[in-house]
Structure 1
């Protein structure tokens, strides 16, 4: 819950200093962590006194418990009244080893990271972000929540597109492997990973996490499918990126196909026609049932 008017920053500063002491203790970056906490505390106090600062959102590792290190900076979105971003608040913009402060006017913040904004790549920043300062009516928290999850309509639109892109990369990977193009196969295999993850998370109405937070997200907020539990899925994704990539890609496809059909995406799969046989591994000359092709053909 965000905090609105009043000396809310005193409580916030105390919370973060306690948190920093716990995360920094015993690390080699204690001094850097302490300096970052001090800079962040000073920012909170300044923002708390500025009526033109509508909201402050903490994201990055400092907002995700257990991911911060002694060297972690504070990633902050500072939301200003429209027009106020050109006033004194402009001095709060910075990016260094202690603070990364992005200042946005309210109108721009409303659209930021949402479809059509051009900054869709930044959407996960708001998943599980912490609203530290908010307006009296909770507007900033409402906007952050909308960025942090897919709407039902967004998930319904994006999931089939992500599945189709995943299938395209699977096909290209396995075709290149069959034809002896090992480098192309590995590159195409790597391309399957972001599309697979985007699809898997979209089915849960969730934004695909940045790679840095993938393991944390899977362990703290598992996907709704036992086969994609972190201790099983993460090694499989690692194998996709290895020399055994094509075999792992085929395994991944075989896990996706029945689930995709159960979720109503059979037409996307069937649109690939006979190429599904190559993906499944039943095409003559494409390798054994586990996808161990001989690179010829």
Structure 2
């Protein structure tokens, strides 16, 4: 990780983390700087890894980072947003809610709000009770729906459709599984890392057991087995009602 670059010239885009921090330190409109990506996942960076840097600016204040959002180079991936945007980024209702996992293990590099940047970041790291219940119920239902479609296509002799629906069922299963534990589903790149560094508790969901099941679904039997196991976990967590809504089709799903 380069740390010795000189400060960029005024208006110049920083080329690496050190230059980005130097520019942030000289800019009174910067409220905070956050590092995410491979660098905050021990053992994950490679020779190809860049630094994922999120710069948060004070609302309504012109900043040296204006116009730099989305800048990418071999060494730096720069995200620039206002404090208001940072507060909602990744949370339910945000168009970029899919990006929330990027903040789960993120590190605060600069915080000029006396812990305010850290507090906003902490809000993103786990699901609150209401978020977790809504997400678990919604994704459980979506998983059941894709499983149902896959099983019907398998029954009716449509193997291509069955495989596609089974593939769509997997992300729904992961979203539901992590929501049942009030966790944010990791990006696929970090799924094994997450399961190994912060296990979900039940050996059923250990990395070496779960990942082969998800990547080697061979047919209806495997999909039904996954449904039955997730159903047991969901019912134990008090989410049986959404599954009971499938009525007589539950027997077919199992």
TM-score, with length taken from structure 2: 0.90
Say yes or no: does 1:249 pair with 2:226: no
**Alpha-carbon separation, structure 1, partners of 2:233 and 2:200:** 13
Match of 1:5 in 2: none
Say yes or no: does 1:267 pair with 2:244: no
Shift of 1:260: 1.7
TM-score, with length taken from structure 1: 0.78
Name which of 78, 87, 111 aligns with 2:63.
87
| Structure with larger Rg | 1
213-222 or 246-255, which moves further after superposition? 246-255
Cα offsets for 1:139-176 (capped at 9, x unmatched): 11111111121111110121111111111111111111
Say yes or no: does 1:154 pair with 2:131: yes
Name which of 104, 115, 122 aligns with 1:138.
115
Shift of 1:38: 7.3
Shift of 1:49: 2.4
**Alpha-carbon separation, structure 2, partners of 1:117 and 1:99:** 25
86-95 or 108-117, which moves further after superposition? 86-95
Match of 2:99 in 1: 122
SS in 1 for 2:34: strand
Match of 2:150 in 1: 173
Shift of 1:273: 1.4
Task: Give the count of matched residue pairs.
Answer: 243
- The aligned runs of 1:77-116 (5 Å cut-off) are 77-84=54-61, 86-90=62-66, 92-93=68-69, 94-116=71-93
Relative to 1, partners in 2 of residues 1:145 and 1:39: Cα closer, same or farther, differing over 3 Å? same
Say yes or no: does 1:276 pair with 2:250: yes
Shift of 1:179: 0.8
SS in 2 for 1:137: coil
202-211 or 89-98, which moves further after superposition? 89-98
- For structure 2, the 5+ residue unaligned runs are 4-13
**Alpha-carbon separation, structure 2, partners of 1:51 and 1:87:** 8
SS in 2 for 1:42: helix
* Cα root mean square deviation, aligned: 1.7
Name which of 214, 231, 236 aligns with 2:191.
214
**Alpha-carbon separation, structure 1, partners of 2:220 and 2:121:** 39
